[in-house]
Chain A
Amino acid sequence: MKRYTTGSLALLTAGLVALAGCGRASDGGAAEAPKDVDTSAAATGTLSVWAMGTEGEALASFAKQFETANPGIKVTVTPVGWDVAHDKITASIAGRSTPDVSMIGSTWMGELAKSGAVDPTPGNVIDKAAFFPSAWGTVEVDGTAYGVPWYVETRVLYYRKDLADKAGVAPPATWDETKTFVKALQKAGAEQGMQLNYTVGSWQEILPLVWQQGGSITGADGKWTFDTPELVKALEVQRSYFEEGLASNKVDPASFPASFFKGDVGAYYSGPWMIAGMEKDGGPGFAEKFGVAPYPKGSASGTSFIGGSDLVVFKDSANRDAAWKFVRWLSEPATQAKWYSAVKALPSVQAAWELPEVSADERVAVFGEQLKDAKTPPPFPTWDQISKAIDQEVEKVALGKTSPKDAAKAIQAQADAVGTGL
């Protein structure tokens, strides 16, 4: 009985130590210097890698090429559902049972860097200059990079080419032209004109409008700035589409994308994955009926949102050198181009865009162009909460339950309450 008690005490202590472990970063974190990787030998041993969704499924067979090039290595890929990925990674950090390498959502970096569990990127194997600067922004926290951008996605304008041709209009270049364009599509038969997102994830459509006016959601002091004329204006612009009947605020989410195929919706903003979706589900000949165009410009620029996924190496990895070599291999231009062919994930490495696998499709080239002007929200650990607050207020504005001014104030109040988490 005595022994049993001692045993459970030891267990409890072990648990507490592990818990304390996840808090260790608050003292180190940002200031820590990356350690170089020994590149003299080939990668050996075993690597466990987590990846989500399609990537998780495709990476296992894709990684065989790395195994062939490095005969001493065995890569085990575990596909993880997106729904559970965030919880699973944070739990594994708390339990100190992390994999060697993991794919992460690009907006999680702040939180993970703060946990102290991810390894700063060693400069001798990864060249920052090879990536799109906007993509690199998703891995940098307080001046230190943790991991690398793996692939990117950005938003552009999708529109019904056949309706635009019928109305004799070209894709818009400015905010003002966008309205004329949508009105023309409506006349040509698109009842809804344009579909705008005003529910979950609507921050991804509102932030570009802020950036396009030269605005920012963080100030020079590193604090959130939401109660700005730019955000008020962005909300007003989106609301005007609903008020003028150019977009509907009673959209049944299940009706999309069928509504675009039918021609009820004339245009919308979305990411590169929709190309395949449109071509596959739109029915015969639909591939010719839609086009993509860069974001229309506001008073300052045509900045879009950049998202995607990053790769991180965990500090607890028993095979750190091999882990970074695997990450380096995944960010080589040739690998990135092949990866694009496999799962249609846009390369985060600029040189890969010159390769034929990527440059062949002119619709994809529009995304490449847009990537040169795209931004990501700052990688602050609290971003998840802030984004939800924005979504809620955007929906209230769209439904006419609050004014843009009050919404901006409400977002600011919530952001002040939550802080940046740094």
Chain B
Amino acid sequence: MVTGRMRGRVRVRTAVLYTALTVGLVAVAGPFLWTVLGSFKPDAEIRRDPPTFLPAEWIGGNYAALFERMDVVTVTINSVVVASVVVASNLLFCSLVAYALTKLDFAGGRLVFGLVLLQMMVPGIVLLIPQFVTIASLNLADTYAGIVLPGLVTPLGVFMMRQFMADIPDELVQAARVDGSGEFRIFFQIVMPLCKPVLATLGLITFMGSWNAFLWPAVVAQHKEMYTLPVALASLSGRDSVHYGMLLAGVVVVITPVLLLFVALQRYFVQGVATAGLK
């Protein structure tokens, strides 16, 4: 009797939980789905009131138009190059800084960390002109180097890695030192392997940031051969007229890699967010 009532209660709770999850799923995935479906509709149907969900007729013309008006291969390569360099360097450099901040005892460590935190409070847009002037006087405007340079180490990355590494027991590091291991060996062979979840999280965050970055690459890249995906996509929309179908097709092209990456790293991502103290 008691177990029956409990089972009933569990069933109600499950039902409520799933209803809530379904509502959440629809709210999150709905616009996504609409975008994907919309990329197969003609423009007149996208603008139709009341709107349709499933395309009345499926067309591939939007993708054809996108590939015709935009050099998708070149800009995708640019995006991949930029994002890979930014992710790799963030993983390495942010971890190195974090290691120094947590495992090495040096004068001014707290000050350095304070400076890092301070940078997190400066809005990126404020830095646009000074950064561009610097890049331009280094003759790096319109180059890959110019696009990636300001993003190679991010304060958020340092912060995340520091929070995670602070929880790695110092005894582990000291034991290795006693055994005669150098700092780089400790860093690469002991600390980094323990950081996998947070590295996955950081990798994903910086990848998304770099993949979606718009203003900076748009300002630095001065030829369409240097454009990244979002920049090339934005150059397709006119001031007064927008080819929505084609833009939706472009959006699908842009988000697909992020989506795949997220699915692949999802387990680490959740773990990383939970452990990095960003709850």
Contact = CB atoms under 8 A, between A and B. Distances in A.
A18 B49 contact: no
Contacts of B14: none
B236 interface: yes
B69 A18 contact: no
B174 interface: no
A56 B69 CA distance: 11
B129 A79 contact: no
Nearest to B138: A11
Interface in A273-299: 273-274, 276-277, 280-281, 283
B133 A18 contact: yes
Given A11-B137, A97-B222, A79 B128 contact: no
B215 A87 contact: yes
Nearest to A84: B218
Contacts of A194: none
B231 interface: yes
Contacts of A78: 222-224
Interface stretch (A158-166, A240-248, A254-262): A254-262
A96 B136 contact: yes
A312 interface: no
B137 A15 contact: yes
A57 B69 contact: yes
B136 A81 contact: no
B231 to A, nearest CB: 7
Contacts of B48: 258
Among A52, A78, A274, residue most surrounded by chain B Cβ atoms (within 10 Å)? A78
B137 A95 contact: yes
B135 interface: yes
A94 B219 CA distance: 12
A42 to B, nearest CB: 25
Contact of A88 (B133, B218, B236): B218
Nearest to A10: B137
B240 A88 contact: no
Contact of A258 (B49, B222, B231, B239): B49
Contacts of A271: 240
A82 B218 CA distance: 11
Contacts of B43: 280-281
Contact of B136 (A76, A95, A258): A95
Contact of B219 (A48, A76, A84): A84
Given A255-B49, A271-B240, A81 B231 contact: yes
A15 B134 contact: yes
A281 B47 contact: yes
Nearest to A271: B240
A56 B235 contact: yes
Of B132, B214, B240, the most chain A CB neighbours within 10 A belong to B240
Interface centre among B133, B141, B231, B237 (most CB of A within 10 A): B133
A290 to B, nearest CB: 16
B231 A273 contact: no
Interface residue tally on B, bucketed by range:
20 to 34
Interface in B220-240: 222-224, 231, 234-240
Contacts of A97: 136, 141-142, 222
Interface in B183-238: 214-215, 218-219, 222-224, 231, 234-238
A330 B127 CA distance: 37
A91 B234 contact: no
Contact of A94 (B47, B69, B133, B138): B133
B137 A88 contact: no
Given A15-B130, A97-B136, A259-B49, A88 B219 contact: yes
A224 B210 CA distance: 43
B215 A84 contact: yes
Contacts of B235: 52-53, 56-57, 79-81
B128 A87 contact: yes
Interface string A67-97: 0000000001011111110011011101111
Interface of B: 43-44, 47-49, 69, 128-130, 132-138, 141-142, 214-215, 218-219, 222-224, 231, 234-241
Q: Which 5 A-B pairs have the closest CB atoms?
A: A95-B136, A81-B234, A53-B238, A258-B49, A273-B240
19 contacts: A15-B130, A52-B235, A53-B235, A53-B238, A54-B241, A82-B237, A83-B234, A88-B219, A91-B219, A92-B136, A92-B141, A92-B219, A95-B133, A96-B136, A97-B141, A99-B222, A271-B240, A281-B47, A283-B44
